[in-house]
Amino acid sequence: MSAPLPPTLLDFFRAARGAGLRVSTAEGLDAVRAAEVVGFDDRATLRDALSLVLAKTPEEKRQFEECFALFFGRDGFREAAAAPADAPAPTPPGRAEGAGGIGGDGMGGGAAPSPLGRMLLEGDRAGLAAAMEEAAEAVGLSSISVFTQVNMYARRIMERMGLKALEDEIAALRRDPAGAERAARLDLARDYLRGEVRELVQRNLLLFARGETERWREEMLRQARLAGLDRRDAERMRVLVRAMARRLATRYARVRRRDRRGHLDARRTLRRNMAWGGVPFRTVWKQRKVEKPRLFVLCDVSGSVAAVAQFLLLFIYSLHEALSGVRAFAFTSGTIEVSEILEREPIEQAIAQIMGRIGFGSSNYGTSLEDFEKGWMQAVDRRTTVIVLGDGRGNRTEPRVDILQRLAGRAKQVIWLNPEHPASWGTGDSDMPRYAPHCRVVAQCATLRQLERVISDMLRNHAG
């Protein structure tokens, strides 16, 4: 139990952070204590124990298991690394004759056999693996951060293990006709070793550099245009949107309970304390009610706006803790309510269904607004925030600005989000400048970061 830990736990924490776990210092200390208590002998128990301390959600548990397997799998790798050595045809005979051959070569060739060459030909797996790990540590392999460094680290490790001496030996053997066969065997073994070292480096890259790469990717995604997203990135983006929404939701759910103390509510205090003869044991304070925003979301789902609509809806529906009620509407040339679909189905399928029902037509803002006024204008009240998402391009149809004006009059505020750059508002068939005066906020919303900012502002205005 008191034996030194083969790979240190500290390295493991770094790898775990790289895999996306948040390992605080306190948790790290706990993990060390837990590991000391259960010991390092039984891997499954160690995994259970560390998982209890380090991973705090089912998602984190999964990441943890993956990282643990990768990290502590290194011992298994030693055997695996040596095992294929038997597979290439020339090596087994090499090993068999190696012991006898060395003496003969030593006498005949005169080239001093390098330690690395001897280990390779003798098939000394443990020695090779130890030398490799040692060299890896010496060159600081665990600080590898991008994949372009793989070749450099592999070369450095090989050099550290004595590649130079090995090359010299091979060169010397080549010159000697008696050593040709041995030179060929060493050549093969060297190539094999190179492969193994590369594998080790790749594995470390996976372990330690993933965090960096992930963070970098996320940063890029936040700024990427929502409309032109890769299908592959879309899933990652959804995860990101949910995380953002959760952060906002917890922040604003708290603000809402802020104003608890203030003036004494004399009437209710007296009433509450009737049981004690009116002696005020329990005080009741006047509470200012901070209301959660009610939200109506109108999304243009035609053409390029649709991609952004998907993320806006996902964002809004991940926020439900901070909102008191959300109704969503989709329109192209007419408006339908889609709240029910969104509540029933997971977001991806819901979006697909909505698109199936009205998507991909050419948009007509006038008729869509008329539909909305007929069907749902009554439901808009002073507590309602209306978010309109659209490029304001009605294909030269009547924009019906008057309806938006009436809407703005009824609602607490109207926020218009436009995925286009402000410079192109008003060009061509864009009616944006005519809608804009009736909206409290008009903002561009082409990237996730812009989306987050707008929604965060909205929640703050409500809370303040």
What residue ranges bind another protein (CB under 8 A)?
Answer: 22, 24, 26-27, 30, 33-34, 37-38, 44-45, 48-49, 51-53, 55-58, 61, 246, 250, 253-254, 257, 276-277, 279, 281, 321
* DSSP helix, strand, coil percent of the chain (3-state; round to 5): 65, 10, 25
Task: Return the closest-CA partner of residue 201 out of 160, 162, 165, 169.
Answer: 160
Q: Nearest distance from residue 52's CB to another protein, in Å?
A: 4
Shortest Cβ distance from residue 441 to another protein (Å)? Answer: 29
With CA atoms as reference, report the closest residue to 81 among 120, 44, 46, 118: 120
Angle at CA of residue 37, ends 35 and 41, nearest 5°: 65
- Provide DSSP, 51-64: HHHH--SHHHHHHH
Which amino acid appears at position 332 of this protein? T
- Whether the CB-CB separation of 316 and 297 falls below 8 Å is answered with yes
What is the distance between the alpha carbons of residues 210 and 45, in angstroms, rounded to a whole number? 26
User: Minimum distance between the CB of residue 49 and another protein, rounded to whole angstroms?
Assistant: 6
Nearer to another protein by C-beta: 26 or 89?
Answer: 26
Least gap, CB of 285 to another protein (angstroms) = 14
CB of 124 to another protein, least distance (A): 37
- Three-class secondary structure of residue 398 per DSSP: coil
Report the relative pairing of strands 325-331 and 335-337 from DSSP bridges: antiparallel
As beta bridge partners, residue 389 has 299, 417
**Considering the complex, what minimum distance in angstroms separates the CB of residue 462 from another protein?**
19
In a 3-state reduction of DSSP, which class is residue 326? strand
How near is the Cβ of 31 to another protein at its closest, in Å? 10
Q: How far apart are CB 347 and another protein at their closest, in Å?
A: 17
Under a CB-based contact definition with an 8 Å cutoff, are residues 403 and 373 in contact?
Answer: yes
CA distances from 143 to 82, 164, 170, 209 (A): 25, 25, 33, 8
Q: Which is nearer to another protein, 191 or 340 (CB)?
A: 340
- Distance of closest approach, residue 197 Cβ to another protein, in angstroms: 37
Q: Give the CA count within 13 Å in the CB-facing half-sphere of 73.
A: 15
CB-nearer residue toward another protein: 106 or 280:
280
Contact 430/391 with Cβ under 8 angstroms? yes
Question: What is the rounded CA–CA span in Å between residue 435 and residue 456?
Answer: 23
User: Exposed, middle or buried: residue 350 (CB in 10 Å: 0-12, 13-18, 19+)?
Assistant: buried
Smallest separation, CB 292 to another protein (Å): 15
Which residue lies nearer to another protein by CB, 49 or 323?
A: 49
**3-class state of residue 319 by DSSP:** coil
Nearer to another protein, 215 or 254 (CB): 254
- Of 273 and 397, the one with the shorter C-beta distance to another protein is 273
Q: Are 311 and 341 in contact (CB under 8 A)?
A: no
